Amino acid sequence: MADAPRCAGRVFQIIRDFENDMDATQVASDAAKSREFWVGFALAALGAVLFSAKAIVVKLTYRYGVDAVTIIGFRMMLSLPFFAVIGGFQARRARRGQLPVLTPGERFKIVFLGFIGYYLSSFLDFLGLQTISAGLERLILFLSPTFVLLISRVYFKRPIAPRQWLALSLSYVGVVLVFLQDLSFSGDQVLIGSGYVLAAALTYSVYLIGSGELIKRVGATRLVAYAMTVSAVVTIAQFFLVHSWQGLAQPLPVYELSLVHAVVNTVIPVFMIMWAVARVGAPLTAQLGLLGPISVVLLAAWLLAEPITPMQLAGTVFVLVGVVVLGKR
C-alpha cells in the first residue's frame, strides 16, 4: 500500500509527459502550418506583382506597331520550351508511378483551363490594352477576387459574409472612379477596351477556381505545365493562322520585350501563383492578386509617363480598403 502513492505519482507523471509531448507536437504542427501559409502568401504577392507588370511590357511592345495576336504569340512561343520541359518531366514521373495517372475527365479539365486561363483571358486582356491605360487595365482586373467569391457562392454554395459584401462594394466604387477618369482621357473606345478586360478578369477567375479544385489531385507544378502547354499550342496556332511565317519578321526590341514577357511575366509568376493556390487556396490568392495593380500604377507613371491623378488615387484607395476588409478574417 505504501507504494500506491508512488505508483499514482508515476501515472500522473506519465500523463503529464504525454500531454507535454502532445502540446509540443501541436506547436510544431502549428509552426509548420504557419510557415506553409506565409510561403504561400509571399508567392501569391510576388507572383501578382510580376504577372501584373506584363501590362507595362505589352504597352511598350505596342509602340512597335504589333497587334495583340503577335504579342501573345511571341509570349507563348518563347515560354513554351520551359513548360514543355517541365511537363515532360512530370509526365515521366507519372509513367514511373510517382504521380497519379490522369483520368480522361482530368485531361479534359486541364485542356479547358489551359484554353480559358492563359489563352482566352490573355487575348482579351491584350485586346483591351490597345485602347485603355495600363493602370485602368490592372484596376479592372482588381475585380477578379470578387468574381472568385461570387462564383464560389453560386457554384460551391459557399456563404459570403457581410464584410465581404462591403469589400466588393468598395472595390467596385474604386474601379468606377478610375474608369470615369480614364474615360475623360480616352473617349468612347475605353468602353470597348474595358469590356475586353472585364471578360479577361471573369475567365481568369474561372481558371483560378477550377485550378484550386483540380490541384488537389494533379499537383500544382504538373497542372501549370500541362495547362500552359495547351495554351501555348493554341496561341501559336492562332498566330500562324493570322500572320503566317511573315509575322516572325519583327524588330529586335519586340523579341527582347517578348523574352522579358515570357520569362519574368509568365513562366515565373504562373508557377508562383499556382504554388500559392496549393498552399492558401484560390480565394486568398486572388485577393493578394490585388497587390498587382498598385505596382502597375507606379510602373506606368515611371515607364509610360501615364499621369497619376487625384481621382485615380481615390479609386486606388477605395480598392485597397476593400482588399483590407476582404482579407481580414
Question: pLDDT by residue (tens digit) across 213-226?
Answer: 788 788 888 988 99
Which of the 8 DSSP states describes residue 2? T
Instruction: Give the pLDDT band of residue 14 (cuts 50, 70, 90).
Output: very low
- With cell 482588381, the residue in question is 142
Instruction: Give the pLDDT band of residue 136 (cuts 50, 70, 90).
Output: confident
Name the residue with higher pLDDT: 200 or 9.
Answer: 200
Instruction: Give the pLDDT band of residue 241 (cuts 50, 70, 90).
Output: very high
**Which residue in 269, 324, 297 sits closest to 45, CA to CA?**
269
Whole-prediction pTM: 0.72
**How far apart, in whole angstroms, are the C-alpha atoms of residue 89 and residue 224?**
13
Q: For 168-177, what is the mean pLDDT?
A: 75
| Count of alpha carbons within 13 angstroms of residue 72, beta-carbon side | 27
Q: What is the pLDDT of residue 194?
A: 86
Span 56-76, pLDDT tens digits: 888 889 889 998 889 989 999
Name the residue with higher pLDDT: 298 or 240.
Answer: 240
**Domain assignments of the chain as residue spans, ordered by start:** 43-327
Name the residue with higher pLDDT: 236 or 16.
Answer: 236
